[in-house]
Structure 1
Amino acid sequence: MTALLSVRDLTIGFGAGEPVVRDVNFDVEAGQTLALVGESGSGKTISCRAVLRILPRTAQIRSGVMQLNTSKGSVALSEISEREMRGIRGNRISMIFQEPMRSLSPLHKIGNQVSEVLWLHRGASESEARKEVLSQFERVGFPDPARAYDSYPFELSGGMRQRAMIAMAMVSKPELLIADEPTTALDVTTQAQVLGLIKDLQKETGMALVLVTHDLGVVANMAEHVVVMHKGRVMEAGSAELILNAPAHPYTRQLFDAAPEIPDKEAVGIPMPNEDLILDMKDVCKTYTMRSSRGWKADKLIYACRGVDLKLARGKTLAVVGESGSGKTTAARIALGAELPDPGGEVLFRAAPGEDPIRVHQMTREERKAFQRKAQMVFQDPYSSLSPRMRIQDAMTEPLEIHNIGTTAERRDKAAEMLERVGLNAGMLKRYPHAFSGGQRQRLSIARAMMLDPSLIVCDEPTSALDVSVQEQILTLLERLQDSLNLSYLFISHDLAVVARIADEVAVMRQGLVVEQAPPETLFYNPRHPYTKALIAAQPEPDINRPIDLKLVALGAGSPDSWDDVFRFSDTMIPSLVEMEPGHKVRCHV
């Protein structure tokens, strides 16, 4: 059987340097999935971009043949004209990019950008395209497809933007879909649903899939064949069953060892102590008003947080878990004073044991400046949080300059010390952010947050965009810093395996509400709420014999109206958070 896509002896280089991809070979058959697995910088993405001929200007394909074989005939992708290639991109071959904010136009509405594929390649009218796009938006998990259609990219969360990218790639029903980390920015329930959607589309259309990922659990659920890459070379290739059950190459085994997993040993969790609280959030609510785009329609209220009560003990980690739009990041911003809660809610912060608490949203100018020294944030996207125009030294010393701490030499020495502490070296201070890998940029973000010697750090999805080996390094770093400096972490995540490793207590959020809260040992082995059960069921495992249970995921991740009566809630009827056992709270009707 002839492969739909055949890549032979692909070698890519930049300028006069050594090749970054050398002699790569792989085949993709119609209706099947090939997973390209490896760390950042292994050559996965650039190999896929070469197929579509969208490489950076300085990159050269030094050798190799890329052949697309369909019922319409064979096409040598490396030899056809750019005009012919434009007829293939987005039509016969589509690609889902990893960073949606850099791939979507900030000046055009999401619906128009997705519809453009149908206008260009199918000749669809505006009304036909809108109907097809809204249907696709519903399938990829948009809770309000019409609202998303009329939104700009900056009005959507990172997970929502990634869903739009997936819809854009799939709306034309291509013969080959190249998915570059398509679910990295998605919560696990949406990831499970999107993976199921891609599988359904493969069955309907016979579409082939090249899946670029570092998540071995996703590989186990999706792929028939696997190619493992490292430093531009293929380390191991074969059937998914063979490689996942018995990896032969040491590098493949190293990837398995680095992958975090929910522990399979039953234990009883100990509730987080409440004696010495560094952060205490009481009845925090946040409501936004979304103005209607049509004058005759009423404005809509968006409930981002509703009655959130969270307590973080000094030196401990409280993880907040939930899907995109559940209110996790809003709660974190309120905790740091970056957002005002609705009247009635308050946030208390104690800089040191025994001190009187500070009301975060009633601080004077001087108190706010002191608070900002003690509470810092590590953002989800380190590339966006570091200025591309500032050298690392300037970015690192800027907090000290703002707070007027130390001399220029002392600030530079502090920056060098922090780089060493996070596993980098002082020689990197003169570089710009673009010269670092994703994992290194995340280390830089952590080092910058540490410059003011804070006692509280809010980590907003700090490992979601990282491959498993770098993720392991970052988690180890955070644990080491916590142990040595007695740091407290408010840890935002959608990855339960990461949470199981780092958290002392877990709060699960859905639609602005904390629906279940307990130590991880209790939560993972005795979940009560249907949404918590869905999160656990949706966590992909690197075991080909344990696929994701999509029915259980759909039940818990669906509308609250589909839950059992005891768990249902609405805008007007919200059950209380009830303590079912010591330290284990569930939102339900008693």
Structure 2
Amino acid sequence: MTALLKVEGLTIGFGNAAPVVDDVSFSVDPGETLALVGESGSGKTLSCRAALRILPAVAQVRGGAVMLDGPDGPCDLMGLTERQMCYVRGNRVSMIFQEPMRSLSPLHRIGNQVIEVLRLHGTAKGQGARKRVLETFERVGFKDPERIYGSYPFELSGGMRQRAMIAMAIVGKPDLLIADEPTTALDVTTQAQVLGLIKEIQHETGMAMILVTHDLGVVANMADSVTVMNRGRVMEAGPAPLVLGSPQHGYTKELFAAAPMIPESSEQKAKDDGRDYILEMRNVSKTYTLKGKAPWHPKEHVYAVRGIEFGVERGKTLAVVGESGSGKTTCAHMALGAEWADPGAEILFKPEKGAEAVNLQELGSADRLAFQRKAQMVFQDPYSTLNPRMRVKDALCEPMEIHGLGTHGERIERATEMLRWVGLSENMLTRYPHAFSGGQRQRLSIARALMLGPMFLVCDEPTSALDVSVQEQVLQLLEEIRDRLNLSYMFISHDLAVVARIADEVAVMREGLVIEQGPPEALFYSPQHPYTKALLAAQPEPDINRPIDLQTVSQGAGKPTTWPEAFRFDDVTIPPLLETSPGHKVRCHV
């Protein structure tokens, strides 16, 4: 069989420096999935961008060919005119980018941006194009396609923006889909459904896919062949069963050793009956009022969070788990005082054990600034967090300048120390954010959050953009500084393997409600709620013989009105959160 895309001897460099991609070769057949695996900065994304001729202006293709098979035989994409490449991009070869906020226009509605693909290539027009876009939105997991069609990117969560990017890439039904970390920002249930969707589309259309990822669980579920890259070179390549089942290269073995997994057996953690909460949320709800689609349409109320009751113990980690749009990040923003909760809510912060609790809802501007020095946040999207016009040293020192801490030299010294803590070098202080890979930018965000020496840290998907080996280092770092400084974490994640490692308490959220809560050993080894069971079934494992159980996922990840009667709820009837065993709560009817 003739390869659909064949990359031969690709070499890419910047300026006079040594090549960052050196003599890389790989190929993908029609209908096949090739996984490009490696750490951030290994050259995976650059190799794929070279195929579409969308490299940065300063990048130089120093050698190699990219052959795309077509009706008239293979052609070298490097020799096509820009006009010819416009036909290839989006029509024959489409790409899902890693950072959706950077790729989507903030000035245009999501529907208009997705439908543009069909209009540019003449695939569909008018109401037919709109219908096709809405069908694609529904297939990638949007519960209200019409609302998403008319929304702007800033109105969606990180995972929802990523789903919009996936819809934009597949709506044109391309021959080849290049997916650069397509499920990085997605919760595990949506990830499982999207992976199943991509497989389904491949079977229907014969579409090939190049999957750029660091998630070995995703590779095991999707890939037919695997190419492992490190520092711009191919380390190992071959059929997925051989590479995953019996890796030969030392680097591949290290990747597998660093991959997080839910432990096979439960490890009971010591419990302390007298709980000391550094932050406690009581009766916390958040309602957003949206304008109607037209001036004469009524306003729409979105209940993002409903009746939250949980706390973060001092020196421990509360993990909040759930799908995009479940209210996790909204809870985090309210916990930091960045958003106001609905009237009647209490968000109590106790800086020291035995001190009087302060209600964040009642703080003035001066007291709020003092509180923000003690509580910081690591955001999900590092690209939108860091100012692209500020050097790293300025971005890191800015929090200390705002709070008037230290001299210039002391700030630089602190910034240098924080870079070392997150595994970066001092010579990176003078660089701009665009000079770093996605994983490196996330580490910079973590360093910036630690600059003020906070006692409470909200981590919103802090490891979602990191490859497995760096993720392992960051998790170790977070554990070390938590134990050393007695920090308390609210840890938001969709990766249950990460949660199983770092969490002391887990709260599972769905549609603004906590539907199950308890210690990890209770939720992971004795789950009661169908949605919690779906989360566990959707967790990909780096084992080709243990695929994702899509049936269990679809049962628990469906609408709450389709759940078993004991757990079913709607906007009118919501069951209470009941304690079924010591410390283990489940939202169910008695």
The answer to whether TM tops 0.5 is yes
In 2: Cα distance, 1:417 partner to 1:51 partner: 39
Give 1:199's aligned amino acid.
K
Q: Counterpart in 2 of 1:106?
A: 106
In 1: Cα distance, 2:206 partner to 2:429 partner: 51
Provide closer, same or farther for how the CA distance between residues 571 and 139 of structure 1 changes in structure 2, counting only shifts above 3 A: same
In 1: Cα distance, 2:250 partner to 2:354 partner: 52
Q: How far 1:2 moved relative to its partner?
A: 1.2
Secondary structure, counterpart of 1:537 in structure 2: helix
Q: Counterpart in 1 of 2:411?
A: 411
Q: Counterpart in 2 of 1:371?
A: 371
Secondary structure, counterpart of 1:73 in structure 2: coil
1:111-190 alignment, distance < 5 Å: 111-190=111-190
Measured against aligned partners, the alpha-carbon deviations of 1:99-154 in whole angstroms (never above 9, x if no partner) come to: 11111122221111111121122352221100111111100111110111111112
Measured against aligned partners, the alpha-carbon deviations of 1:452-492 in whole angstroms (never above 9, x if no partner) come to: 22110111111111111111111111011011101000101
| 8 Å Cα contact 1:227-1:236 kept in structure 2 | yes
Measured against aligned partners, the alpha-carbon deviations of 1:390-445 in whole angstroms (never above 9, x if no partner) come to: 23333223222222233333333333333344344444433333333433333332
Give 2:576's aligned amino acid.
S
Give 1:484's aligned amino acid.
R
Q: How far 1:519 moved relative to its partner?
A: 0.8
In 1: Cα distance, 2:88 partner to 2:360 partner: 55
Q: Counterpart in 2 of 1:276?
A: 276
* Percent of residue pairs bearing the same amino acid type: 67
Measured against aligned partners, the alpha-carbon deviations of 1:70-94 in whole angstroms (never above 9, x if no partner) come to: 4453322222222222111111111
What is the TM-score when the length of structure 1 is the normalising length?
0.97
Measured against aligned partners, the alpha-carbon deviations of 1:206-232 in whole angstroms (never above 9, x if no partner) come to: 111111111110010001100001111
In 1: Cα distance, 2:8 partner to 2:396 partner: 45
Measured against aligned partners, the alpha-carbon deviations of 1:547-585 in whole angstroms (never above 9, x if no partner) come to: 101111111111001100100111111111111111110
Q: How many residues align?
A: 590
Secondary structure, counterpart of 2:68 in structure 1: strand
**Does structure 1 residue 208 correspond to structure 2 residue 208?**
yes
In 2: Cα distance, 1:6 partner to 1:451 partner: 46
| 8 Å Cα contact 1:272-1:313 kept in structure 2 | no
Bigger drift between 95-104 and 486-495 goes to 95-104
Give 2:290's aligned amino acid.
M
Q: Counterpart in 2 of 1:73?
A: 73
In 2: Cα distance, 1:276 partner to 1:84 partner: 65
Q: How far 1:510 moved relative to its partner?
A: 0.3
| 8 Å Cα contact 1:305-1:512 kept in structure 2 | yes
Give 1:319's aligned amino acid.
A
Q: How far 1:272 moved relative to its partner?
A: 6.5
In 2: Cα distance, 1:220 partner to 1:516 partner: 29
1:179-578 alignment, distance < 5 Å: 179-268=179-268, 274-578=274-578
Secondary structure, counterpart of 1:552 in structure 2: helix
Provide closer, same or farther for how the CA distance between residues 554 and 453 of structure 1 changes in structure 2, counting only shifts above 3 A: same
Q: How far 1:250 moved relative to its partner?
A: 0.4
Q: How far 1:501 moved relative to its partner?
A: 0.7
In 2: Cα distance, 1:123 partner to 1:447 partner: 46
Measured against aligned partners, the alpha-carbon deviations of 1:361-414 in whole angstroms (never above 9, x if no partner) come to: 112333223211211111112232222222333322322222223333333333
Provide closer, same or farther for how the CA distance between residues 9 and 440 of structure 1 changes in structure 2, counting only shifts above 3 A: closer
Gaps of 5+ in 1: none
Bigger drift between 153-162 and 418-427 goes to 418-427
| 8 Å Cα contact 1:34-1:226 kept in structure 2 | yes
Secondary structure, counterpart of 2:19 in structure 1: coil
| 8 Å Cα contact 1:392-1:431 kept in structure 2 | yes
Provide closer, same or farther for how the CA distance between residues 37 and 563 of structure 1 changes in structure 2, counting only shifts above 3 A: same
In 2: Cα distance, 1:512 partner to 1:542 partner: 31
Secondary structure, counterpart of 2:589 in structure 1: coil
| 8 Å Cα contact 1:397-1:412 kept in structure 2 | yes
Q: How far 1:271 moved relative to its partner?
A: 5.3
Q: What do you get for the CA RMSD once the two structures are aligned?
A: 1.6
| 8 Å Cα contact 2:99-2:381 kept in structure 1 | no
| 8 Å Cα contact 1:39-1:469 kept in structure 2 | yes
Secondary structure, counterpart of 1:78 in structure 2: helix
Bigger drift between 470-479 and 442-451 goes to 442-451
Q: How far 1:61 moved relative to its partner?
A: 2.0
Q: How far 1:309 moved relative to its partner?
A: 0.7
1:40-79 alignment, distance < 5 Å: 40-79=40-79
In 2: Cα distance, 1:461 partner to 1:103 partner: 20
Bigger drift between 525-534 and 388-397 goes to 388-397
Provide closer, same or farther for how the CA distance between residues 429 and 33 of structure 1 changes in structure 2, counting only shifts above 3 A: closer
In 1: Cα distance, 2:93 partner to 2:449 partner: 42
What is the TM-score when the length of structure 2 is the normalising length?
0.97
Bigger drift between 9-18 and 515-524 goes to 9-18
Q: Counterpart in 1 of 2:6?
A: 6
Bigger drift between 59-68 and 168-177 goes to 59-68
In 2: Cα distance, 1:270 partner to 1:523 partner: 16
Secondary structure, counterpart of 2:79 in structure 1: coil
Bigger drift between 526-535 and 152-161 goes to 152-161
Q: Counterpart in 2 of 1:579?
A: 579
Gaps of 5+ in 2: none
| 8 Å Cα contact 1:274-1:311 kept in structure 2 | no
In 1: Cα distance, 2:452 partner to 2:297 partner: 48
Bigger drift between 421-430 and 358-367 goes to 421-430
Provide closer, same or farther for how the CA distance between residues 137 and 562 of structure 1 changes in structure 2, counting only shifts above 3 A: same
In 2: Cα distance, 1:442 partner to 1:562 partner: 38
Bigger drift between 80-89 and 233-242 goes to 80-89
In 1: Cα distance, 2:319 partner to 2:532 partner: 14
In 2: Cα distance, 1:503 partner to 1:477 partner: 14
In 2: Cα distance, 1:16 partner to 1:423 partner: 26
Bigger drift between 576-585 and 393-402 goes to 393-402
Measured against aligned partners, the alpha-carbon deviations of 1:133-190 in whole angstroms (never above 9, x if no partner) come to: 1111100111110111111112211111111111111111111111111111111111
Bigger drift between 98-107 and 212-221 goes to 98-107
Give 1:207's aligned amino acid.
M
